[in-house]
Amino acid sequence: MSKVKVTKVKSTIDRNERTKRTMLALGLNKIGDSNELENTASVAGMVAKVAHLLKIENI
């Protein structure tokens, strides 16, 4: 499978709890944190929900 590198570029302050938990599930805590993940259907869905807070790169 392909991989996706996601980097947190915006804060989750003033976001709903579901968005905050999605970011934690992706392994992103602080601004600037990056994580390489397998591009599965569940990961793609989570990334799509919080794409406005992320920088996304295909690897």
CATH of the domain at 41: 3.30.1390.20
- Can you tell me the mean pLDDT for 4-29? 97
User: Which domain does 20 fall in, by range?
Assistant: 3-58
pTM: 0.91
Task: Say if residues 39 and 3 touch (Cβ distance below 8 Å).
Answer: yes
**SS3 (DSSP) at 36:** strand
What is the model's pLDDT at position 15?
A: 96
Domains: count for the chain? 1
- Residue 9's contacts (CB-CB under 8 Å, 6 or more residues apart) are 31, 32, 53, 54, 55
* β pairing state of 3-8 and 54-58: antiparallel
What is the model's pLDDT at position 1?
A: 79
Asked if the model's pLDDT at residue 48 lies above 90, the reply is yes
Which tokens in the block code for residue 7? 């980097």
CA 10 to chain centre: 11
